[in-house]
Amino acid sequence: MSTEASSASKALPAAAGVIVGLLIFGGLSLWFGRPFIPTTNDLPTVLKEAPQLTAVAMAANAPPAAPTAPGEQTFNTVCAACHQANAKGIAGTFPPLAGSSWVAQDPETPIRIVLAGLSGAVEVSGSQYNSMMPPPPGLDDAKIAEVLTFVRSHFDNHGAAIDAAKVAEVRASLAGRAAPWSAAELSALRPK
């Protein structure tokens, strides 16, 4: 191929490119009614909204949000292992915390159960259980207050919040007791 032919073969597409460019510029200038120099106003709305759209897409793709309610984390990692994530328990084995009168009435009863455990026959929402709950290890007063407040305000329960001071008070009243409660003992201690 001669040098002339080769530079012509390069010049042609370049010229075509310039012409196409001019046509686009002319077309857009006609469209916008003035020489077309892009500004953000000319961008289609969807492009202007791109950052928001990206944020929405990222949120939709994000992993499930970490638990936000205080106590939810403790519930999920400790209590749910037995009482299940929906707090409905397992028939005959783990009683429900959802709608349980042991959970959501006086604050002392559920605090006593979490501090020292519960063993033997117990009736929960009309069903009988006869098992044993050891006190979950590693929960300080604040964590117990949080998890009980969470359980008492979720799963169809409507019990008042419990603070760490209340847990400390009940802990002190145990005077070092470590043996799990029986349901009869707990019932006798309940405010009438």
Which of 145, 147, 162, 167 forms a contact with ligand HEC (CB under 6 A)?
147
Q: Rounded to an integer, what distance in angstroms lies between the CA atom of residue 149 and that of residue 161?
A: 5
Residues, the chain: 192
How many CA atoms are closer than 13 Å to the CA of 169, on its beta-carbon side?
9
Residue 34, token pair as written in the block: 């003035």
Which of 9, 54, 77, 130 forms a contact with ligand HEC (CB under 6 A)?
130
* Backbone dihedral region for residue 69 (phi beyond 0: left; psi -120 to 50: alpha; all else: beta): beta
Mask 1-20, x = binds ligand HEC (CB under 6 A)?
Answer: --------------------
Task: Name which of residues 19 to 58 contact ligand HEC (CB under 6 A).
Answer: none
Which of 71, 83, 115, 141 forms a contact with ligand HEC (CB under 6 A)?
83
Least gap, CB of 174 to ligand HEC (angstroms)? 16
Least gap, CB of 173 to ligand HEC (angstroms)? 17
Q: Rounded to an integer, what distance in angstroms lies between the CA atom of residue 41 and that of residue 35?
A: 14
Mask 93-112, x = binds ligand HEC (CB under 6 A)?
Answer: -xxxx--x-xx------x--
Q: Find how far residue 161's CA is from the centre of its chain.
A: 20
- Looking at residue 24, its amino acid is I
- Residue 145 and residue 164 in contact, taking contact as beta carbons nearer than 8 Å: yes
User: Which residues of this protein are in contact with ligand HEC, per CB under 6 A?
Assistant: 78-79, 81-83, 94-97, 100, 102-103, 110, 113-114, 118-120, 122, 124, 129-133, 136, 147-148, 151
